[in-house]
Structure 1
C-alpha cells in the first residue's frame, strides 16, 4: 500500500505543482496535451475544494464538523493516490503551452517531483487519520499538508505575481 501510495503521490505532486488557470490550451495545441491540461486543472479544483474545507475549519473560518472534515480528508487522500501519469505529457508546461502554470522544472527535476509527491501522499494520509478526531488533531495535521502543497508550488508552479 505504501509503495502504491508513493507511486500515486509522484503523479500527485506533479499535479499539485501546477494549479492552473481555468483557461484551456489554445486550439493550435495537440488535443492530447490540451486534454491532459484540462484533466489536471480539474484535479486541482478538487484538491482546492477539499483543502478549503479543511483549511477553513483549521483557521476557524467555519465551524469544525468531524464528519465533513473526515469526508474532505478522505477525498483528498483518494485524490492524491489516483494515477495521474497521463496528466503530465512532455510539452505541457507553461513555456510550451498557454493556459498552464506548470513550470518546465517538473520535467527537468523528476527526482524532486517524486520526493515532494511522497511527502504529499504521507501528509494527506495523515490528515485522513487526524481530521475526524477533533479540531486540534485537524490543525496539527494541517501544517504538514500545507507544507507539502507549498513545497511543490514553490518549485514547480508559476507564481501569480
Structure 2
C-alpha cells in the first residue's frame, strides 16, 4: 500500500511536538525547567524587593504560583516556535510538505524529500486512531502520524488498521 499526503507546516509541528512529548528525556527537561523557574524567579524577587520579610514572602509565593500556572503554556509555545523555525530552515519553505508512506506486512517507510525512515511493525508499541489521524508509536521514540486524508477511501484506512492490529498480535 502506498499513501501520499501534503502536510501543512502546522501539522508537521504538531506531529513533532507530540513525538517529543512522548520522550522521557523531553518530559524531564520540561519538569526541570518549570521547577527552576518556579524556584529561582520568586527567590530573586524576594531578594530584590526592599520591603518587610512577610511582604516579600507573599509576593514570592504569588509569583511562584503564577509562574507554575503560566510557564508550562509558555514552554510548550516556545517549543512550537523553535520547531517551526527549525523546520522552515531545514526544508527551505513553509510547506506544505510531500510525504509518501510505503506500507507492507513487515514495515512502514516514511519518505519526505531526500529522507526515508523505516519502522518495523515488530517495534510498534502503540497505535491510536484519532479524529483526523492515526498515530503510530515505535520503540525508542519512533513516531509516525498519518492523516486520514492520505487514505483514498475509508476501506483503505480500515485495511491499514487491520494490518497494524494483526502485526501487534503476532
Same fold (TM over 0.5): no
Greater strand proportion: 2
Larger Rg: 2
Greater helix proportion: 1
TM-score (norm 2): 0.26
